[in-house]
Amino acid sequence: MRILVTGGAGFIGSHLCKRLIENGDEIICLDNLFTGSKENIYPLMDYKNFEFVRHDVTKEYMAEVDQIYHLACPASVPHYQYNPVKTMKTAVVGAVNMLGLAKRIKARILQASTSEVYGNPLVHPQTEEYWGNVNPVGPRSCYDEGKRAAETLFFDYHRQNAVDIKVIRIFNTYGPNMALNDGRVISNFIIQALQNQDITIYGDGLQTRSFQYVDDLIEAMVRMMNSRKEFVGPVNLGNPREFTIRELAEKVIQMTGSPSKIVYRDLPQDDPIQRKPDISLAQRELKWSPKVALDEGLAKTIAYFRNVLHINEPVPGGEDGY
């Protein structure tokens, strides 16, 4: 099969490309490298069935493919707030361009939507039926409302033009290939711990998130893309085990053996207080449940950042031992 992956040089996209290459599919990875990187896809360049195209999804693109995974969009809070107007254009115009392509070439298209469509949720855990509690004019709105508008476009192209769509709502996902300057909580805490810097908790640290390891997400994405045609979603994909941010900080300190201290900073505006997916729909339809516990996923992610930052593991009893 020929498959287009937009945002393929990013964190999730690079894992997805790898998985699809290993399936034997022909992959076009399209990315403008705004938050993604060539490092993420260097290991994939050797494969004959992988091709990288530098392109911005706010401009039209043409290719003959059977499936499109549409991931292109900055995803971390500092990245999507860097140029909010561009974020909104990427989310909305990018969706129009990719849906137009899917319509012309009759490809199936999957949208990487987000738990942010629920905003600061008043229903807990979040089910797909919940319409959310989103500020339309705040600093997170460019992303949240952009992704909500993109979902609307997907469903309208589906109803109006019979485009074969799939919509997934991804909850906080982590793992190797997250950018060093990403600013998301897991990469921040690990990098701070490995560099013996203060661990920055925003607010009191009692807000919650549910963290999904990237391998679990990739499995679910591929299952969703290849699920029965009538099942279009939206479907939540996440790990329902919920942690406070303070618990996460303590876990990272303990697992890295770091002397770092926790410091408290202001909570950013509109930061959701709680988040946890109800995944019964994904379990029923995709026969999928996340398998990787936080400790196991963190260990792999810590090992990745140690390698990228050239920080050796401490030797028990050694000079830098604990």
Question: What is the C-alpha to C-alpha distance for residues 280 and 59, in angstroms, rounded to an integer?
Answer: 37
67 near ligand UDP, judged by CB under 6 A: no
118 secondary structure, DSSP code: G
- How far apart are the C-alpha atoms of 291 and 170, rounded to whole Å? 16
CB closer to ligand NAD out of 73 and 163: 73
Query: What is the x/- site pattern for ligand NAD, positions 14-53, by CB under 6 A?
Result: -----------------xxxxxx-----------------
Active site residue 143: yes
User: Under rule CB under 6 A, how many of the chain's residues touch ligand NAD?
Assistant: 28
Q: How many CB atoms sit inside 10 A of residue 48's CB?
A: 7
Cα torsion 55, 58, 59, 65 to 10°: value is 70
Active-site position among 143, 157, 174, 213: 143
Q: How many CA atoms lie within 13 A of 252 on its CB side?
A: 31
For CA atoms 93, 95, 100, 105, the dihedral sign is positive
Distance separating alpha carbons of residues 13 and 214, to the nearest angstrom:
10
Minimum gap (Å) between residue 261 Cβ and ligand UDP: 14
Partner whose footprint covers residue 20, from ligand NAD, ligand UDP, none (CB < 5 to 8 Å by kind): none
- 258 contact choice in ligand UDP, ligand NAD, none (CB below 5 to 8 Å, kind-dependent): none
Q: Which stretch binds ligand UDP (CB under 6 A): 3-11, 13-21, 93-101, 198-206?
A: 198-206
Closest approach of Cβ 201 to ligand UDP, in Å?
4
Residue 134's Cβ-count burial label (10 Å; 0-12, 13-18, 19+) is buried
List the interface residues with ligand UDP, window 71-90 (CB under 6 A).
76-77
Dist CA 170 CA 239 (whole Å): 10
Does the footprint of ligand UDP cover residue 200 (CB under 6 A)? yes
CB of 11 vs ligand NAD, minimal distance in Å: 4
Say how many C-beta atoms besides its own lie within 10 A of residue 272's C-beta.
Answer: 18
- Is 82 or 155 the residue whose CB approaches ligand UDP more closely? 82
Q: Does 271 bind ligand UDP (CB under 6 A)?
A: yes
**Any idea what the Cα angle at residue 93 is, between residues 58 and 182, rounded to 5°?**
65
Residue 315: CB atoms within 10 Å = 10
CB of 291 vs ligand UDP, minimal distance in Å: 22
- The distance of closest approach from Cβ of residue 147 to ligand NAD in the complex, given in angstroms and rounded to an integer, is 6
Instruction: Please state, in angstroms and rounded to a whole number, the distance separating the CA atoms of residues 274 and 120.
Output: 7
9 binds, among ligand NAD, ligand UDP, none (CB under 5 to 8 A by kind): ligand NAD
How far, in Å, CA of 170 to CA of 277, rounded?
9
Positions in the binding site for ligand UDP (CB under 6 A): 76-77, 172, 184-185, 188, 200-202, 207, 209, 245, 268, 271
Positions in the binding site for ligand NAD (CB under 6 A): 7, 9-13, 31-36, 56-58, 71-75, 79, 90, 94, 112, 114, 170, 172-173
- Catalytic (active-site) positions: 143
